[in-house]
Structure 1
Amino acid sequence: MTTTAAAHTDLDGTLPPLAEPWDPAEFETRLRAVGEERYHDRHPFNVRMHSGDLSPSELRRWIGNRFHYQRHIPVKDALITAKLDTPALRRMWLRRIQDHDGPAEGEGGIERWLRLGEAAGLERQAMLRGDTVLPGVRLAVDGYVNFCRLRSPLEAVAASLTELSAPDLMRARIEAFERHYPWIGTEGLAYFRSRVSQGRRDSREALDLVLAWARTRDDQERAVAALRFKCDVLWSLLDAVDAAGHREPA
């Protein structure tokens, strides 16, 4: 059913006043609250990972499936870059692509994740082929890439603000891997180490853009909704990985 503006008029035929935008401090608080409430560090699979309760096969399943997400990060960032309307903004966002693709062969975040997989006992070519990627993981990643393709620059950038919570998660993950999974060599943890500083820088840049761009209450609410969507993507990815373990024979 089509909703018209007339359906929302007051009895005297006038439109109700628009909600006032949140002030910048309140808006930032609401964005940060999304991560505090919905970030995937609270997912039962992540909790078990950091408690040292994953088996080697469970950890390998997560690494292999998460790689499907990692390799699409520069794809979604290329889509966001194409939406930005100044050279300065495009240069800033292009750096994110280079962070993951690397300035040269054998460098960058994707390469570091492949080395994590190898350190855990996965074959590089199998990861690159996506042999073990679960359907639910493909759907979650496709959903995020398409969100960045189809939505406004504000929403696409706001969705990246899960980075606000990433540095703390990376530090916790490094400690957990060193303590509970010493069979994965320290060289395999290079991705996590690099993302502590990169995540802090990237989230600050993206947050500044979102605070500047979202000038109306509607814009602000769309930004918060975009961040909730991204949290749902990450949560759904872990749902798929976790459920696959329940289907395996004991």
Structure 2
Amino acid sequence: MSRDEFTARLCAVAADRYHDRHPFNVRMHNGTLTPTELRRWIVNRFHYQRHIPVKDALVLAKLDTPALRRAWLRRIQDHDGEKDGQGGIERWLRLGEAAGIDRARLQSGDDVLPGVRLAVDGYVNFCRLRPRLDAVAASLTELSAPTLMRARVEAFEKHYPWIETDGLAYFRDRIGQGGRDSAEALDLVLDWARTREEQDRAVAALAFKCDVLWSLLDAVEAGGRA
């Protein structure tokens, strides 16, 4: 594929298979989730959020230049923060608190559903075991993230006013971060995937990541502890 054809195929996978189309996410944005369902999602999604810097550390170890490592290190800092009380994980904890979920409960992981654990473990192990091209290509779900985050902020403000607005900081911050990160990762994938086999691997990696996010919502939608 030409560079333009390859880009179009990646963007099509990110658009067509992203979890914004999942029925649970559609209900979330339509404002029909109950407080119990929304809290269940926050609790289980946190299990994914707290593993993002873990998978990024695994990707970082595969990068072979200081410039690449410095750029990818920023992703870890975005989630872990440069010190306590900062970063995306902290902002997700504040989202939980704004929704009435105790911080200690979120951090314990006791309420995480088995299907969510399997999905997250699958993604982390994928990034551990696969080459750098595959691991970076899997992150390209972020091509669709800024649009989703904008819609989510609007939906929460409109339909879930019982959640304190300060708790939505994670979503607001990811609009800019997701756009920046996806652009950087896309450039890397386009440069690294020189053969048709490599391009197909990158597309398959992105489709796998879409399946991870979809499976996570399948588990949450099926129900469990609030």
After superposition, the C-alpha distances for 1:147-170 in whole angstroms (9 at most, x for unaligned) are 000000000000000000000000
**How does 1:24-43 map onto structure 2 within 5 Å?**
24-43=3-22
2:177 matched to which residue of 1? 198
**How does 1:186-225 map onto structure 2 within 5 Å?**
186-225=165-204
1:108 matched to which residue of 2? 87
After superposition, the C-alpha distances for 1:47-85 in whole angstroms (9 at most, x for unaligned) are 000000000000000000000000000000000000000
Amino acid aligned to 2:177: Q
TM-score, normalization: structure 1?
0.89
TM-score, normalization: structure 2?
0.99
Correspondence 1:170 to 2:149:
yes
2:113 matched to which residue of 1? 134
Structure 2 Cα separation of the partners of residues 171 and 46 of structure 1: 14
2:164 matched to which residue of 1? 185
Correspondence 1:44 to 2:23:
yes
Greater RCO, 1 or 2 (C-alpha within 8 Å, sep 6+) = 2
1:84 matched to which residue of 2? 63
Please report how far the alpha carbon of residue 35 of structure 1 lies from its aligned counterpart in structure 2 after TM superposition.
1.3
Please report how far the alpha carbon of residue 94 of structure 1 lies from its aligned counterpart in structure 2 after TM superposition.
0.3
Structure with max Cα Rg: 1
Structure 1 Cα separation of the partners of residues 101 and 66 of structure 2: 40
Please report how far the alpha carbon of residue 244 of structure 1 lies from its aligned counterpart in structure 2 after TM superposition.
1.1
Structure 2 unaligned residues grouped into runs of 5+? none
Identity %: 77
RMSD of aligned alpha carbons: 1.0
Q: Which of 155, 158, 163 is matched with 2:134 structurally?
A: 155
After superposition, the C-alpha distances for 1:153-199 in whole angstroms (9 at most, x for unaligned) are 00000000000000000000000000000000110000000000000
Q: Which of 41, 55, 72 is matched with 2:51 structurally?
A: 72
Please report how far the alpha carbon of residue 96 of structure 1 lies from its aligned counterpart in structure 2 after TM superposition.
0.1
Residue-pair matches, total? 226
After superposition, the C-alpha distances for 1:82-113 in whole angstroms (9 at most, x for unaligned) are 00000000000000000000011000000000
